Amino acid sequence: MRARETAKLSAKYQISIPQSVRAAKGWSPGQLLAFIPRGTAYCSSPFPRRKASRASLGARRLVITATGTIGSDAPHGYLAWIEWLVDSSLGRRLTNELPSQEQWLVPTIVQHELAKWLMRSVGEDKADRVLAFTFNCIIVDLDTHIAVMAAELCITHKLATADAIVYATARAYSADLLTCDRHFEGLPAVCFFSKSNS
């Protein structure tokens, strides 16, 4: 692949991806691409092919945590998303709890935490692929209702701001919260998985 490839936008707003790019990326017709903002530009990334389990959970909605502290001695921290993405033993246990992907709620702060961890740990390309995966989920913005509820949860349960926003999102949408973070252990509608039992 040459260092620089170009494509022309047609009158129907379509582009043909250069053959050298398709070959280098292994893309074939029908490949779904996501466009990820990068400053003033957009970066294209294929949707990952990893699938969630369709365990018989009906129309259960689920928020998966990706907030918390990641230490150098614990590269996956207690982040349920990260455990699942790296396919750890705990991640494989979490898979049994996952409904179909269209029932996953992804707060935008979770997108932020995922992107931050992935860019730092494995690079922008992997971060783009995971963000593309979240586009098939229900993306939830932080609105005033969730913000106020999160403030109340900070006070009531002594949660950090990011944790409270994630939990408030789950409560606002009557969803369960899947987590490996002990800060949530024992709270209503929380499915807590202990890392020590993995």
* H or E element in which residue 110 lies: helix 108-121
To 10 degrees, what angle do helices 161-172 and 144-157 make? 120
pLDDT of residue 48: 52
pLDDT of residue 165: 93
pLDDT of residue 198: 53
Q: Report the 10 Å Cβ neighbour count for 80.
A: 31
Beta strands in the chain (DSSP E): 33-38, 41-46, 62-64, 104-107, 138-140, 176-179, 190-192
* HSE-CB for 144 with a 13 A CA cutoff: 0
pLDDT of residue 77: 35
pLDDT of residue 20: 82
Please give the chain's pLDDT, 198 residues, in tens.
555 677 778 888 787 888 887 777 777 777 777 777 767 777 776 655 443 333 333 345 667 665 443 333 333 334 677 777 777 787 788 787 777 777 888 888 888 888 888 888 888 877 887 888 888 788 889 999 999 999 999 999 999 998 999 999 999 988 888 888 888 889 998 888 887 655
Tens digit of each residue's pLDDT (9 = 90 or more) over 4-23: 677 778 888 787 888 887 77
Tens digit of each residue's pLDDT (9 = 90 or more) over 52-68: 333 333 345 667 665 44
- Given a contact cutoff of 8 angstroms between Cβ atoms, the answer to whether 163 and 180 are in contact is no
How far, in Å, CA of 59 to CA of 64, rounded? 16
Residue 45 amino acid letter: S
pLDDT of residue 92: 82
| Domains along the sequence of the chain with CATH | 62-197 (3.40.50.1010)
